[in-house]
Structure 1
């Protein structure tokens, strides 16, 4: 195989209470083409002027991880990315890069790795499975670490028709900095609060009882602490619920806020944008379905 093109979806992580473990794929895609030849990296679209154009790029990390995994030398490759996913906005741009690199590396090397193998490699690179697992499997996933070197990932059945309504601020979020504000210790009360809501979230999604999402997407582990740096967040969540969303939460480390809906998407989008304007937050709303398929090979030659 001389060349391969793959695509990987945007994702939203945590979904409120499922910190570092629950994620969902969104119908917005980055595309990667790798071709045998002298090493180069080029990017167009979202984040083109921000992502590294060398071996530090996470797509290169993903491809290299496959060749290291199978014990083969890394060949010279040319990388070209076409990015639609907003960069550093809490929509899984880094996970899409890692996963597209892994899928492309698996194809061009002939390794033909399973989704389970791809997930282990991706989660080891990312450090947690909440974004990479749905990027690989599609839909909604729950991922947990089993011991020090294994991951367990399971899919949550999500009914068709569920949409994501996002408000995507212009400001960027550094995930490492966003995680640094989180406390190392939490109270038993807050732990019980999140355990119950994470369980309710999975049940509400799998049974289609979307009226429960208003309560199931609440959180005490990370959102209250991240509000310190993004004070408009609770107001955007409140506006989404007012507009008719079933539930709303900070998408990943933010700053994007995401609402889940099965109708009234335009109204929800308007309410979120208006709340953002009122609180002096520049950005744009987006509406997209949940992606029920994960990353895949588009073409090869």
Structure 2
């Protein structure tokens, strides 16, 4: 409303956010995307979806979660002279995601404060190559490369210290047939990509968590290219 110079109306909002908070799954971005989309719809949709993404990214501080929440699918987001540029990456239809969601939260700010302000060049090169490999795997369907594309040297090693079960949960996912597994966002959820054996992978991840003294739930889902929309 402020962006368009509109008066904020008196409305009653009910938010049913089924994404666990502080689990690295973008719950705040999902709520922000829904709120912006609903407000835009309320006043006749004067803003395009790309304009909503720009506003959402400014409010959230980065486009990592709000871009896919609004646009759907896998999104690349960069800034060029203050302007957000996004690009979609196709995701193979056969790909599934198994999430192990611990009952222990990992507040984003706490997890972010663990990260070093400067990183070794070798670690940066390591991750840049794997980002490129991730895009290639998704765009071409060469999913065998996900085992390498999901490896990381920039944030998981630092966060391992406050979330010791992470390494064992990732290992359990890979040993039971996952194509790749990693800490989702800043944690504490762990996500595994697969094309089959979803229940087996989920069971083994939960078992690894339990053996580390951790309770949690398994969520089996699929990536969607459908972003924010109105249910009438």
TM-score (norm 1): 0.76
Cα shift at 1:111: 3.3
Match of 1:143 among 77, 80, 85: 77
Q: Deviations over 1:85-122 (max 9, x none)?
A: 11221111100110000100100011332121011011
In 2, the alpha carbon distance for the partners of 1:112 and 1:241 equals 46
In 2, the alpha carbon distance for the partners of 1:180 and 1:254 equals 13
Q: Which residue of 1 aligns with 2:216?
A: 283
CA RMSD of aligned residues (A): 0.9
Higher strand fraction: Structure 1 or Structure 2?
1
Is the 8 Å Cα contact of residues 70 and 111 (structure 1) preserved in structure 2?
Answer: no
Q: Which residue of 2 aligns with 1:298?
A: 231
Structure 1 residue ranges (4+ consecutive) displaced by more than 2 angstroms after TM superposition = none
Is the 8 Å Cα contact of residues 140 and 158 (structure 1) preserved in structure 2?
Answer: yes
Q: Which residue of 1 aligns with 2:65?
A: 131
Gaps of 5+ in 1: 1-66
Q: Which residue of 1 aligns with 2:197?
A: 264
Q: Which residue of 2 aligns with 1:79?
A: 13
Match of 2:128 among 181, 185, 195: 195
Higher helix fraction: Structure 1 or Structure 2?
2
Match of 2:91 among 140, 154, 158: 158
Cα shift at 1:159: 1.3
Match of 2:101 among 144, 165, 168: 168
Q: Deviations over 1:127-163 (max 9, x none)?
A: 111111110111111111222x311111001111211
Q: Which residue of 2 aligns with 1:115?
A: 49
Cα shift at 1:84: 1.5
Kindly report which structure 2 residues correspond to 1:1-301, keeping only aligned pairs within 5 A, or say none: 67-147=1-81, 149-299=82-232
* Matched position secondary structure for 1:122: helix
> How many residue pairs end up in the alignment?
232
